[in-house]
Amino acid sequence: VTAAHWIPHSGVAGLAWPALPPAPGQRTLAIQFQLDRSQWLEPDAIASQQFRQLRYLVKHAQERVPHYRDHLRRSTISGPDAIDAQSFLRWPVLSKPDIQQGGDSLLARGLPEHHGGAHWVTTSGSTGQPVRVANSNSGAFFQHALLLRSHLWFELDPRGKFAIIRATSPKAVNRDWGIPANTAFHTGPSVILSAFEDHRAQLNWLRSEAPACLQAHNTNLRALMATSLRENLVPASIRTVIGFADMPPPDIRAQILAHWNARYFETYSCSEIGTLALQCPRHDHMHVQSEHVLLEILRPDGSPCAPGEIGRVVVTDLHNFAMPLIRYELGDQAALGPPCPCGRGLPVLQLIAGRTSDLAIDPTGRTFFAHLNMGFWATVAPITQRQIVQLAPDRLEIRYVAERDLTTDEIAGLVREIRAAMRYEYAINCVRVPNIRPGPGAKFVDFVSMIRG
């Protein structure tokens, strides 16, 4: 069904099929042609192409970016051609403070021909540390290419209406889906709403706009779903939901299927680099988008994690020559999975296990990931949104948004579940709040630790 609908428009009179779109559309399709194939390459072949591209980036960075001038020498790598999976592990990791303090030293002194200009992107990422990153037009071009791949992977119908709820955008109505889809395809309209709208208003908007596809923050989706169930308001037109930004609640896929009769797809992205991983078209886990990003999962000592082992996410944008981000630590945690049964050679990213700034502890000294995205939040008490704050090693506060105060029984149920999940008898108090504002960068911080040092 999808292929039948993704037939490009033509820029040549009399030619309808196959089509020859105008030059920007041809560029778009020329990349999709490659992505369509590269996804099936063997992991080794993918890595070999990645390192081929990486060597160009490193050579450029060494010659034109002051920050990286000595990196090869400091890593005892004899030159860009000697970059491989082994030697690259010695290349210093780039932290957010490095970017904050590095200033212009990360900016390239000139771009190769045809890489276009550069533009600034500001983000707080998932750690709440604001950074400003310059991206080249060619870097953005590859980001767009992955956006189009996501449309194809998720089998969206381009004729349908696309709705986006995101934090920073004012309400808008567009006649098409915008770049890159509109460079080669006729698409339906797109509509945008701010995520700061009340969830009932969001639902009413979705019901009146009747989109076929919705893209929204995962946290927002969870709250939307809770409101939808409570108010019995179903956005019935939606066939596909694409979650992004923060961590998806584990039950969101099943809930969206059960209550909205729609398919949910997970994505993993960051403002600085764009899409990092997309859910497999056939499975629930994600595939790293290796054609654009070299993604590593590292242990605290800097060595690579084994499959299944949770570690720090470190990424390299292979195409942004304006401000090369080489081995950039995002502040997220993830694990690589075993090869996907779908046959794609793109690595499997099994889960994004929270953020290093949000680790929980207990009085025994155990430091752990407070993975509290369990189903009990939806069943034990009528909560539309919540946040857990660790005030002391043995003390938590649950801040929640709800129509009414929780009963003593409901609170007791929640406390029991949380203690069981976190494997410690914390002292827990529950506080009802009017709202929980998203953290910096509009990403909702699920678990906030007030313990510093």
Partner 1 sequence: MTEPERPPYSSIAGLAWPALPPPAGQSMLAICFQLELSQWLDAQTLRQQQLRQLRRLVEFAHAHVPHYRGHLSRAGIDGAAAIDAESFLRWPVLTKTEIREHGQDLAATSIPASHGSISWSTTSGSTGQPLRAATSGIAALFQQAVLLRMQSWYGVDPQSKLAVIRMTAETPYSGSWGAPTDLAFRTGPAVKLSAFESHEKQLDWLCREQPGCLIVHNANLQALLRRSRLHGKAPRGLRTVMGFSDMASPGLRGMVRDIWNAEYFDTYSCAELGPLALQCREHANLHLQSERVFLEVLGADGAACAAGEIGRVVVTDLHNFAMPLIRYELGDYARLGPPCPCGRGLPVLAGIAGRGGQTAVDPTGRSFFPRLNFDFWLDVAAVQQWQVAQLAPADLEVRYVGERDLTADEQSQLASEIRKAMRYDYRIAFTRLAVIAHAPGGKFDDFVSLHHHLRTTDG
Residues at the interface with partner 1 (CB under 8 A): 3-4, 6-8, 11-21, 23, 25-38, 41-42, 45, 49-50, 52-53, 56-57, 60, 112-115, 138, 142, 145, 184, 291, 318-319, 321
| Strand (E) or helix (H) holding 268 | strand 263-270
- Smallest CA-to-CA distance from 47 within 91, 75, 86 is with 86
Integer Rg of the chain from CA: 23
CA 298 → CA 25, 50, 84, 269, distances in Å?
38, 18, 16, 18
CB of 277 to partner 1, least distance (A): 17
CB of 56 to partner 1, least distance (A): 5
- Token pair for 92: 């210093």
Rounded to an integer, what distance in angstroms lies between the CA atom of residue 47 and that of residue 88? 13
Rounded to an integer, what distance in angstroms lies between the CA atom of residue 354 and that of residue 284? 18
Q: Which residue lies nearer to partner 1 by CB, 38 or 174?
A: 38
Q: Name the burial class of residue 233, with classes exposed (0-12), middle (13-18) and buried (19+) by CB atoms within 10 angstroms of its CB.
A: middle
CB of 383 to partner 1, least distance (A): 45
CB of 149 to partner 1, least distance (A): 11
Q: Which residue lies nearer to partner 1 by CB, 18 or 453?
A: 18
How far apart are the two ends of the chain, measured CA to CA in Å?
55
CB of 82 to partner 1, least distance (A): 17
- Token pair for 322: 């304006």
What dihedral angle (degrees, nearest 10) is formed by the CA atoms of 259, 280, 312, 442? -40
Q: Which residue lies nearer to partner 1 by CB, 113 or 301?
A: 113
Amino acid in the structure at residue 70: D
Q: How many CA atoms within 13 Å lie on the side-chain side of 233?
A: 19
| Strand (E) or helix (H) holding 296 | strand 293-298
Q: Which residue lies nearer to partner 1 by CB, 52 or 437?
A: 52
| Contact (Cβ atoms closer than 8 angstroms) between residue 142 and residue 228 | no
Q: Which residue lies nearer to partner 1 by CB, 118 or 380?
A: 118
| Contact (Cβ atoms closer than 8 angstroms) between residue 330 and residue 314 | yes
CB of 46 to partner 1, least distance (A): 9
Task: Tabulate helix, strand, coil % of the chain (nearest 5).
Answer: 30, 25, 40
Q: Which residue lies nearer to partner 1 by CB, 47 or 191?
A: 47
CB of 368 to partner 1, least distance (A): 39
Q: Which residue lies nearer to partner 1 by CB, 114 or 452?
A: 114
Q: Which residue lies nearer to partner 1 by CB, 12 or 173?
A: 12
Q: Which residue lies nearer to partner 1 by CB, 44 or 403?
A: 44
CB of 319 to partner 1, least distance (A): 7
Residue 16's contacts (CB-CB under 8 Å, 6 or more residues apart) are 10
Angle (deg, nearest 10), helices 218-231 and 199-209: 80
Q: Which residue lies nearer to partner 1 by CB, 79 or 97?
A: 79
What dihedral angle (degrees, nearest 10) is formed by the CA atoms of 334, 336, 342, 345? 120
CB of 49 to partner 1, least distance (A): 4
Q: Which residue lies nearer to partner 1 by CB, 8 or 438?
A: 8
DSSP labels for 212-249? SEEEEEHHHHHHHHHHHHHHT---TT--EEEEESSPPP
Rounded to an integer, what distance in angstroms lies between the CA atom of residue 39 and that of residue 43? 9
